[in-house]
């Protein structure tokens, strides 16, 4: 039979272990907070605080940041979006942006998932070369993409136009500033630019799939198409959700590429929602289409539902995860 002193010693050792574990957990928590603190500070300073500052402006007729003679007008700014001259401009920009978002989302899978599958299936040598080449376009600025599109598809001097005309594939040159060409060319080139990022997100999910699952599918005679649809995709749902959120917010916030296409210089076919918001509230005097308050109102009307959809997708991802 064990003596009482033994049990007292055992209790003391157990309590000391618990105290040590608590200290370790506390240190880990503090370390994690310190790592995340800079990001939280930036998010607070660049997102939350500006949003809280902008909220009261929506209820006023504030012309610009220097306007001191502001009046409280309630929800009149929300109604002004449904009236001319903003009604037509807003509806056109919204439809144009929505169509661009759908096409851009298709490019996420056409470029990103395809490249991720190629790298996932082949050798490490191919991986090294692919990573270097695929990530190079991501270094090009959005403004540069817009200017590149003009250089390639300019009606009279575009390199692609001249080449296609010389080959007899076109009877007349394409005009990059036309609505049809703009809405198709932008997703193709933005998808090409973002291919490296989307590929990395998809590849990170593919690499977490247990190799035994893939080997079992191969032994059972599952075709490659079936393996992708029923083995790979169900297990990378979190990654698909992530690229969906990035694509949704990025497509509705695209600004630099349309500006490179001349959206601020008369090319109305490149006037997406972000460009319209800038023209309504932030353009130079004499070029503004509205007030600062109206511009903030439009941004809230558009982007608050997008944030709600992003949170909804994040919650659905947990239910749909394989």
- Each residue of 189-235: pLDDT tens digit? 888 888 888 998 998 888 888 888 888 888 888 888 888 888 888 88
Q: Say what the pLDDT of residue 98 is.
A: 92
Report the chain's mean pLDDT, rounded to a whole number. 81
**18 vs 221, higher pLDDT:** 221
Percent of the chain with pLDDT over 70: 88
pLDDT at residue 2 tops 60: no
274 touches 142 (CB < 8 A): no
31 shares a domain with 149? no
79 touches 59 (CB < 8 A): no
Tell me which of 128-132, 144-148, 268-272 is least confident: 128-132
171 shares a domain with 216? yes
Span 54-78, pLDDT tens digits: 888 888 888 877 777 888 888 888 8
Average pLDDT of 128-139?
74
Tell me which of 91-105, 171-185, 240-254 is least confident: 171-185
Q: Say what the pLDDT of residue 202 is.
A: 92
Q: Say what the pLDDT of residue 7 is.
A: 47
Q: Say what the pLDDT of residue 196 is.
A: 86
In a domain, 283, yes or no: yes
Span 268-279, pLDDT tens digits: 888 899 888 888
In a domain, 73, yes or no: no
Span 264-322, pLDDT tens digits: 887 888 889 988 888 888 776 666 777 888 888 888 888 888 888 878 887 777 666 54
In a domain, 38, yes or no: yes
Percent of the chain with pLDDT over 90: 7
Write out the two tokens for 177: 């500033």
Determine the longest span between alpha carbons in the chain, in angstroms.
Answer: 102
Q: Say what the pLDDT of residue 129 is.
A: 64
Alpha carbon separation from 313 to 70, 168, 169, 253, 302 (Å, rounded) = 39, 47, 43, 18, 17
In a domain, 1, yes or no: yes
111 shares a domain with 47? no
Return the axis-axis angle of helices 86-107 and 292-320, rounded to nearest 10°.
30
44 shares a domain with 173? no
45 shares a domain with 172? no
Alpha carbon separation from 117 to 111, 235, 312 (Å, rounded) = 10, 14, 28
pLDDT at residue 96 tops 80: yes
Alpha carbons 82 and 189: distance in angstroms, whole number: 33
102 shares a domain with 42? no
23 shares a domain with 94? no
pLDDT at residue 26 tops 60: yes
Q: How far apart are the first and last CA of the chain?
A: 53
60 φ/ψ angles, rounded to the nearest 5 degrees: -125, 180
Alpha carbons 21 and 18: distance in angstroms, whole number: 5
In a domain, 63, yes or no: no
* pLDDT grade for 13, boundaries at 50, 70 and 90: low
212 shares a domain with 95? yes
Q: Say what the pLDDT of residue 6 is.
A: 46
270 shares a domain with 144? yes
Count of the separate structural domains present in the chain = 2
In a domain, 80, yes or no: no
152 shares a domain with 293? yes
103 shares a domain with 232? yes
Residue 125: give the domain boundaries: 85-320
Alpha carbons 165 and 176: distance in angstroms, whole number: 15
119 shares a domain with 12? no
58 touches 297 (CB < 8 A): yes
In a domain, 172, yes or no: yes
In a domain, 72, yes or no: no
pTM: 0.81
């Amino acid at each position: 039979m064990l003596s009482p002193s033994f049990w007292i010693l055992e209790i003391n050792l157990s309590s000391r272990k618990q105290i040590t574990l608590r200290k370790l957990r506390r240190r880990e928590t503090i370390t994690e907070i310190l790592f995340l603190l800079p990001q939280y500070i930036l998010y607070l300073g660049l997102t939350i605080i500006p949003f809280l500052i902008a909220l009261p402006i929506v209820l006023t007729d504030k012309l610009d940041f220097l306007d001191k003679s502001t009046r409280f007008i309630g929800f009149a700014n929300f109604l002004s979006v449904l009236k001319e001259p903003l009604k037509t401009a807003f509806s056109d920009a919204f439809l144009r942006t929505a169509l661009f978002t759908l096409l851009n989302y298709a490019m996420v899978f056409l470029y990103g998932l395809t490249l991720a599958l190629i790298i996932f299936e082949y050798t490490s040598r191919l991986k090294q070369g692919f990573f270097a080449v695929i990530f190079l376009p991501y270094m090009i600025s959005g403004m540069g993409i817009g200017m590149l599109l003009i250089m390639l598809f300019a009606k009279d001097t575009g390199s692609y136009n001249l080449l296609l005309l010389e080959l007899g594939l076109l009877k007349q040159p394409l005009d990059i500033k036309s609505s049809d060409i703009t809405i198709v060319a932008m997703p193709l080139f933005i998808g090409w630019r973002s291919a490296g990022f989307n590929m990395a997100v998809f590849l990170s999910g593919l690499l977490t799939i247990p190799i035994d699952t893939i080997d079992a599918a191969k032994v059972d005679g599952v075709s490659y198409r079936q393996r992708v649809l029923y083995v790979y995709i169900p297990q990378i749902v979190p990654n698909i959700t992530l690229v969906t959120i990035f694509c949704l917010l990025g497509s509705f916030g695209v600004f630099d590429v349309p500006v490179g296409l001349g959206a601020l210089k008369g090319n109305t076919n490149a006037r997406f929602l972000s460009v319209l918001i800038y023209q309504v509230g932030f353009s130079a005097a004499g070029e503004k289409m509205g007030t600062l308050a109206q511009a903030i109102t439009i941004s809230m009307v558009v982007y608050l539902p997008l944030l709600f959809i992003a949170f909804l997708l994040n919650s659905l991802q947990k239910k749909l995860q394989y």
